Structure 1
Amino acid sequence: MMTTPITNRPAPWWLRELAHGRAAYEELLGWPVSVKVGDRVLIVAIGSSVAALTMPAALGDAVRGELRLAMQDGPVLTDPDSRKWTFLTKPVECLRTGVATELAKADVRLAARGSHVVVPTAPTPRPAPVGTAWRWIEPPRPARPLPPAYPVIAVTRRLTEREDLAA
């Protein structure tokens, strides 16, 4: 009988970093975060704990400013190219008919229940050059729950309506 020697090798640095980030999200925030090994990213499940609204960065900046004034702001992240911003909120129960279509005309998407959204490698901001990693615009705060989705949707609709009127 031939035996094959087992060689223990440490996990690659990127996998250790993702595993550490996943644990931090779960411990600090209670978010359902998973490691997507093939893409070397962390993803959060959209559903019972988290909702996500993604929009162009310029609109996202305006929405974030309005939400801050109303003290309704929450976590916002950006894609590696900084073209899209994603607002993380409490789950959306039910949108009125036509709202999703209205938002889509402004290139705003509400992530479907059961889908996933990429999140930065850690729940705290880390410097990363544009074009290389998902980054926090506004990081989550452990002691603060996610804001409701409806103020984000309402401000987005109001701002996109203004742009439609100006055109």
Structure 2
Amino acid sequence: MRNAIMIPTLALALAACSTADKAADQVGNAAEVTGDALTNAGTDLVAAGGNAVEDTGNSISGAVAGHDAWVGRWTGVEGTYLVISKGALPDRYTLEMQYTLDSKGSYDGTGTSEGIAFTRPDGKQVLRASDGDATGLKWLAGKKDCLKVKDGEGYCRD
């Protein structure tokens, strides 16, 4: 009788162990699959990020050529002027300017595909290649080698 009770008890114990082992294997497999998915996602993200950084670098290096030719003094109207100096880093410039009768200052600029971008108290600006006619200033009309910040503000060399 004792053997009759022990055999079913032993069978139940073995069945419980087998179920626990299967559950542990399933959890282990799920963790492994999740880990693989995270590794693959991380690798894809690094690859995508690396290409984005590389692409940005390529677009910047090709876009800023030509602004070093603007270094020097430019004359505006009624006492306004612009002096462009090269900065310490490539495609960086210092703009010293008297841009109205009462407003003057020195501003750091960065070469872009559009010109030299800078910020002064009246907001973000971009200095662009132009001619005197496009400035809208009759005193600069007919001049060919000019830079324009906005309508009514320009500087020329000739």
Give the TM-score normalised by the residue count of structure 1: 0.26
| Structure index of larger Rg | 2
**Which one has more relative contact order, counting CA pairs under 8 Å at least 6 apart?**
1
Alignment TM-score, normalising by the size of structure 2: 0.27
Greater strand share, 1 or 2? 2
